Amino acid sequence: MYLGGVTFSISKSFGSLQLVPEPGGLRVYYTPIVDGAQKPDAPGFLNMMLPLDAIGGLWATTRAFLYGVESLDENVILQGRDKEGESDTLVKLYRDKPRGQQGRLSGEETCWLRIVTGRTEEERRRIKLGPRDLLCLELACTAVLTLSAQAGTHQPKLTR
Protein backbone atom coordinates (compact mmCIF):
# COMPACT_ATOMS: atom_id res chain seq x y z
CA MET A 1 0.00 0.00 0.00
CA TYR A 2 1.20 3.51 -0.81
CA LEU A 3 1.66 5.84 2.16
CA GLY A 4 1.80 9.62 2.04
CA GLY A 5 -0.03 12.35 0.19
CA VAL A 6 -3.58 12.14 -1.11
CA THR A 7 -4.63 8.84 -2.62
CA PHE A 8 -7.87 7.67 -4.17
CA SER A 9 -8.81 4.02 -3.73
CA ILE A 10 -10.94 1.78 -5.90
CA SER A 11 -11.44 -1.53 -4.15
CA LYS A 12 -12.90 -4.65 -5.73
CA SER A 13 -13.05 -8.24 -4.51
CA PHE A 14 -10.11 -9.22 -6.74
CA GLY A 15 -7.84 -6.21 -6.27
CA SER A 16 -7.24 -2.75 -4.91
CA LEU A 17 -6.34 0.16 -7.17
CA GLN A 18 -4.80 3.24 -5.63
CA LEU A 19 -4.51 6.43 -7.67
CA VAL A 20 -1.72 8.64 -6.34
CA PRO A 21 -1.44 12.14 -7.82
CA GLU A 22 2.14 13.35 -8.28
CA PRO A 23 3.55 16.45 -10.02
CA GLY A 24 4.85 14.31 -12.90
CA GLY A 25 1.75 12.21 -13.46
CA LEU A 26 -0.62 9.72 -11.89
CA ARG A 27 0.79 6.74 -10.04
CA VAL A 28 -1.35 3.63 -10.54
CA TYR A 29 -0.76 1.13 -7.74
CA TYR A 30 -2.68 -2.12 -8.18
CA THR A 31 -2.50 -4.88 -5.58
CA PRO A 32 -4.22 -8.23 -6.20
CA ILE A 33 -6.42 -9.62 -3.44
CA VAL A 34 -5.90 -13.32 -2.80
CA ASP A 35 -7.94 -15.18 -0.19
CA GLY A 36 -9.34 -11.88 1.09
CA ALA A 37 -5.95 -10.21 1.67
CA GLN A 38 -3.87 -7.80 -0.40
CA LYS A 39 -0.83 -9.60 -1.81
CA PRO A 40 1.79 -7.26 -3.33
CA ASP A 41 3.95 -10.29 -4.20
CA ALA A 42 1.15 -11.98 -6.21
CA PRO A 43 1.09 -11.98 -10.02
CA GLY A 44 -0.67 -8.89 -11.34
CA PHE A 45 0.86 -6.39 -8.88
CA LEU A 46 1.53 -3.08 -10.59
CA ASN A 47 3.26 0.15 -9.60
CA MET A 48 3.26 2.40 -12.67
CA MET A 49 3.34 6.09 -13.47
CA LEU A 50 1.01 7.51 -16.11
CA PRO A 51 2.90 10.51 -17.50
CA LEU A 52 1.60 14.03 -17.22
CA ASP A 53 0.93 14.33 -20.96
CA ALA A 54 -1.62 11.48 -20.73
CA ILE A 55 -3.62 12.98 -17.87
CA GLY A 56 -5.61 15.62 -19.80
CA GLY A 57 -7.25 13.10 -22.11
CA LEU A 58 -7.92 10.67 -19.28
CA TRP A 59 -9.45 13.50 -17.23
CA ALA A 60 -11.72 14.65 -20.08
CA THR A 61 -12.92 11.13 -20.93
CA THR A 62 -13.58 10.34 -17.27
CA ARG A 63 -15.68 13.49 -16.94
CA ALA A 64 -17.61 12.65 -20.09
CA PHE A 65 -18.35 9.15 -18.79
CA LEU A 66 -19.23 10.47 -15.35
CA TYR A 67 -21.71 12.98 -16.74
CA GLY A 68 -23.12 10.63 -19.39
CA VAL A 69 -22.17 12.60 -22.51
CA GLU A 70 -20.92 11.23 -25.81
CA SER A 71 -17.22 10.49 -25.84
CA LEU A 72 -14.77 8.14 -27.45
CA ASP A 73 -12.69 5.72 -25.42
CA GLU A 74 -9.35 6.88 -24.04
CA ASN A 75 -6.25 4.84 -24.85
CA VAL A 76 -2.83 5.46 -23.35
CA ILE A 77 0.02 3.35 -24.73
CA LEU A 78 3.31 3.43 -22.87
CA GLN A 79 6.08 1.96 -24.98
CA GLY A 80 8.20 -0.71 -23.32
CA ARG A 81 11.96 -0.87 -23.64
CA ASP A 82 12.80 -3.42 -26.35
CA LYS A 83 16.36 -3.88 -25.09
CA GLU A 84 15.06 -5.09 -21.73
CA GLY A 85 12.26 -7.20 -23.20
CA GLU A 86 9.49 -5.00 -21.77
CA SER A 87 6.19 -5.10 -23.61
CA ASP A 88 4.08 -2.03 -24.25
CA THR A 89 1.52 -1.07 -21.61
CA LEU A 90 -2.07 -0.23 -22.53
CA VAL A 91 -4.32 1.80 -20.25
CA LYS A 92 -7.81 1.95 -21.70
CA LEU A 93 -10.85 3.75 -20.29
CA TYR A 94 -13.98 2.68 -22.15
CA ARG A 95 -17.66 1.91 -21.74
CA ASP A 96 -20.05 -0.62 -23.18
CA LYS A 97 -21.80 0.16 -26.46
CA PRO A 98 -24.72 2.58 -26.11
CA ARG A 99 -27.98 0.85 -25.21
CA GLY A 100 -30.38 3.63 -26.13
CA GLN A 101 -32.47 4.05 -29.25
CA GLN A 102 -30.53 4.69 -32.44
CA GLY A 103 -27.20 4.07 -30.70
CA ARG A 104 -27.57 6.84 -28.14
CA LEU A 105 -26.44 6.67 -24.54
CA SER A 106 -29.07 5.42 -22.14
CA GLY A 107 -27.10 6.03 -18.93
CA GLU A 108 -26.97 2.30 -18.20
CA GLU A 109 -23.66 1.64 -19.98
CA THR A 110 -20.92 0.09 -17.83
CA CYS A 111 -17.55 1.84 -17.70
CA TRP A 112 -14.27 -0.09 -17.54
CA LEU A 113 -10.61 0.59 -16.87
CA ARG A 114 -8.32 -1.93 -18.52
CA ILE A 115 -4.59 -2.10 -17.82
CA VAL A 116 -2.59 -4.53 -19.93
CA THR A 117 1.13 -4.99 -19.26
CA GLY A 118 1.71 -8.41 -20.84
CA ARG A 119 0.17 -11.53 -22.29
CA THR A 120 -0.74 -13.52 -19.17
CA GLU A 121 -4.18 -13.24 -17.56
CA GLU A 122 -2.70 -11.58 -14.44
CA GLU A 123 -1.21 -8.90 -16.67
CA ARG A 124 -4.63 -8.05 -18.12
CA ARG A 125 -6.48 -6.20 -15.39
CA ARG A 126 -10.07 -5.15 -16.12
CA ILE A 127 -11.88 -3.11 -13.50
CA LYS A 128 -15.57 -2.26 -13.65
CA LEU A 129 -16.06 1.40 -12.68
CA GLY A 130 -19.12 2.74 -10.92
CA PRO A 131 -19.91 6.45 -10.50
CA ARG A 132 -17.84 6.66 -7.29
CA ASP A 133 -14.87 5.04 -9.06
CA LEU A 134 -15.14 7.45 -11.99
CA LEU A 135 -15.27 10.34 -9.53
CA CYS A 136 -12.08 9.06 -7.85
CA LEU A 137 -10.34 8.91 -11.24
CA GLU A 138 -11.56 12.38 -12.20
CA LEU A 139 -10.44 13.88 -8.87
CA ALA A 140 -7.06 12.14 -9.07
CA CYS A 141 -6.49 13.60 -12.56
CA THR A 142 -7.54 17.04 -11.34
CA ALA A 143 -5.10 16.76 -8.43
CA VAL A 144 -2.29 15.83 -10.85
CA LEU A 145 -3.03 18.88 -12.98
CA THR A 146 -3.03 21.11 -9.89
CA LEU A 147 0.21 19.62 -8.54
CA SER A 148 1.95 19.94 -11.89
CA ALA A 149 0.97 23.62 -12.18
CA GLN A 150 2.28 24.33 -8.67
CA ALA A 151 5.53 22.40 -9.21
CA GLY A 152 6.11 23.82 -12.69
CA THR A 153 6.37 20.34 -14.21
CA HIS A 154 3.74 21.12 -16.84
CA GLN A 155 5.61 22.43 -19.87
CA PRO A 156 3.29 22.06 -22.86
CA LYS A 157 4.68 21.79 -26.36
CA LEU A 158 2.90 21.98 -29.69
CA THR A 159 2.80 18.77 -31.67
CA ARG A 160 3.40 18.88 -35.39
Q: Assign residue 14 the CATH number of its domain.
A: 2.30.31.40
How would you classify the pairing of strands 46-51 and 25-34? antiparallel
Q: Give a yes or no: residue 1 inside a domain.
A: no
Report pLDDT digits (tens) over 72-109: 899 999 987 766 667 889 999 999 988 878 878 888 88
Q: Give a yes or no: residue 157 inside a domain.
A: no
Query: Using CA atoms, how far apart are residues 106 and 122, in angstroms rounded to an integer?
Result: 32
CA angle 32, 33, 39 (to 5 degrees): 70
Query: Using CA atoms, how far apart are residues 90 and 149, in angstroms rounded to an integer?
Result: 26
Residue 139: give the domain boundaries. Answer: 8-151
Residue 158 vs residue 121, higher pLDDT:
121
- Kindly report the pTM of this predicted structure: 0.87
Phi, psi for 153 (deg, rounded to 5): -85, -15
Q: Give a yes or no: residue 48 inside a domain.
A: yes
Q: Give a yes or no: residue 156 inside a domain.
A: no
How many domains are contained in the chain? 1
The DSSP code for 23 is T
